[in-house]
């Protein structure tokens, strides 16, 4: 990939990392709250679960962004980690932290969906 392109992707990734790191989370967002009213208790529980899922998503995305920045440093950015073919520039513009070409990502997604179906969301048999 051209050096100019890599510099632009680096800037995009660094902006995304900064945005993700500036996301403010506090212990109160995921604290277990007690409430006398059952409806309030359920609302607190739902809010906590949403906050945990959002924090998990942000954490995973941050790891992907940091890994992409590492691939830039290692001079392997834009190369699929599975088949070692170039990742299309169109895909990288849409998802700069992509680590796989679209074909390999579809295989990975299919495998994960199949595995989740067989073993449940947390790896246990249904």
Question: DSSP per residue over the chain, as a string?
Answer: --HHHHHHHHHHHHHHHHHHHT----HHHH-----SSHHHHHHHHHHHHHHHHHHHHHHHHHHHHHHHHHHHHTT-TTB-TTT-PBPPHHHHHH-TT--S-HHHHHHHHHHHHHHHHHH-TTS---
Taking the domains of the chain in order of start, what are their residue ranges? 1-77, 78-126
Per-residue tens of pLDDT for the chain, all 126 residues: 555 589 999 999 999 999 999 886 665 666 666 767 889 888 888 988 998 999 999 999 999 999 999 999 999 999 999 999 999 999 999 999 999 999 999 999 999 888 776 655 555 544
pTM over the 0.85 mark? no
């Amino acid at each position: 990939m051209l050096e100019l392109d890599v510099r632009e992707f680096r800037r995009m990734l660094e902006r995304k990392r900064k945005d993700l790191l500036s996301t403010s989370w506090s212990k109160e967002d995921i604290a277990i709250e007690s409430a006398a009213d059952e409806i309030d208790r359920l609302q607190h529980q739902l809010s906590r679960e949403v906050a945990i899922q959002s924090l998990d998503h942000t954490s995973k995305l941050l790891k992907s962004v940091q890994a992409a920045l590492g691939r830039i440093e290692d001079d392997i950015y834009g190369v699929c980690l599975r088949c070692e073919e170039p990742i299309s520039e169109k895909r990288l513009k849409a998802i700069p932290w992509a680590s796989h070409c679209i074909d390999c990502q579809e295989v990975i997604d299919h495998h994960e969906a199949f595995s989740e179906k067989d073993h449940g969301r947390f790896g246990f048999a249904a």
